[in-house]
Structure 1
Amino acid sequence: MKKTILSLLFLIIVISACEKDDFCLKNPVTPSLVINFYDDTNKETLKNVRELYVWAEGKTDSIYINQTINSITIPLNSLATEIVYNFSKENVVNQFTINYTTEEEYVSRSCGYKVNFNEVTFSSDTTWIISFTPETLTTIENQTEAHVQIFH
């Protein structure tokens, strides 16, 4: 009888010590900046960029896109308030500066936090990039659609 009670007590302790597994099902991604490239003469038409190099100022590694593309996704630095990207097309470099404030958003215990970017402003030295729109954004909280349109 003592063995049964001790076994039952041990089983109750083991079962009560287990925690429910937490799995993050919401996929809370800190958003990246999505850029679409458009034709400067026909602002409604996407325009491909060939042999595009992209790198963040102060970084040694770059992203080389050896294909024709009309859209890119680049990360923003959640630990800073400004990031400068260099876009090189046909050996002409254009600096594109992004300023912002960051805001952490609690998602859940299993997912943790994600960072949203607020009061986002853009500027460019416009070498091969003729113009861009918009110059300011209220917030970047997802990456489901383009945030900036670059005309070249």
Structure 2
Amino acid sequence: MKKTLSLFLLFIALLNCERDDICPEATPTTPHLIIRLYDISNQESNKNAFKIRIQGIGNSEVLENYNVVTTDSIVLPLKTDASVTEFSLHKDYEYDDNGTPGDTSDDIISGNEDIITITYATKKEYVSRACGYKTIFENVIVTQEDDGDNWIQLIQSVNDNLTVENENAAHYKIFH
């Protein structure tokens, strides 16, 4: 009788188990802003930016995969808890510690830094119980500070939608 009762309780316990909720890797989550770089003199042609270094304003860390690289496209994460994200896009970046790695007061940084500001409204969208919510960015506008020596000549939206809800294609173009 004890054996039958034990099997019955085990059977009931197995019936009451919930399946594990795991968010599949292929499930779309909060998208990044994708920017393609183009030649200002031939606006149909992609153009690499050399020795580019990207860092979030107010962030001491360089954006992963953008520490002095050559690229013709940029993938930027946007803040989901704010309506503005700013980045430093430093082209032809070079750093010289002047032979004194412990003393930052004599360090020399060269290149051309442009600051871009991305403004937007956020909207939460339910994905699933396992994945939770993702953030959609609406009314996205990218502008730059004019410092008198901008390497970025023109910033243009790819379409009039100005919504970032997936990473299937570029959202903005930068001409340089």
Moved more, 42-51 or 57-66: 57-66
Compute the TM-score of the two structures, normalised by the length of structure 1: 0.90
**Using the alignment, how far apart are the partners of 1:41 and 1:65 within structure 2?**
27
Structure 2 Cα separation of the partners of residues 130 and 60 of structure 1? 27
* Residue 81 (1) aligns with residue 101 (2): no
Instruction: Give the drift of 1:112.
Output: 0.9
Q: CA deviation at 1:44?
A: 0.4
Higher mean displacement: 129-138 or 42-51: 129-138
Tell me what 1:35 maps to: 35
Distance change (3 Å), C-alpha of 1:55 and 1:67 = closer
Residue 131 (structure 1) aligns with: 154
For the 8 Å contact 1:28–1:113, the answer to whether it is kept is no
Question: Are the aligned partners of 1:28 and 1:111 in contact in 2 as well (CA < 8 Å)?
Answer: no
One-letter code aligned to 1:3: K
Q: Report if aligned partners of 1:101, 1:120 keep a CA contact under 8 Å in 2.
A: yes
**Unmatched 5+ residue regions in structure 1?**
none
Deviations 1:104-137 (A, max 9, x none): 1101111111110011111112511000112964
- Aligned partner letter, 2:151: W
How many residue pairs align between the two structures?
151
Name the residue aligned to 1:62: 62
Q: Cα deviations across residues 38-77 of structure 1 (Å, max 9, x unaligned)?
A: 0000000000111001111111112344332101101000
103-112 vs 54-63, which moves further? 54-63
1:110 matched to 2:112? The reply is no
1:27 Cα deviation from its structure 2 partner: 1.7
**Shift of residue 78 of structure 1?**
0.4
CA distance in 2, matches of 1:137, 1:87: 25
- What residue ranges of structure 2 are gaps of 5+ in the alignment? 93-110
The answer to whether 1:96 aligns with 2:120 is no
Displacement, 1:29?
1.6
Q: Indicate how the Cα distance of structure 1 residues 128 and 40 shifts in structure 2: closer, same or farther if over 3 A, else same.
A: same
* Secondary structure, counterpart of 1:8 in structure 2: helix
Match of 1:15 in 2: 14
Q: 1:145 aligns with which of 169, 172, 176?
A: 169
TM-score by length of 2: 0.79
Q: Which residue of 1 aligns with 2:97?
A: none
Question: What value does the CA root-mean-square deviation take over the aligned residues?
Answer: 1.8
| Cα distance in 1 for residues equivalent to 2:127 and 2:61 | 32
- Identity score, percent: 37
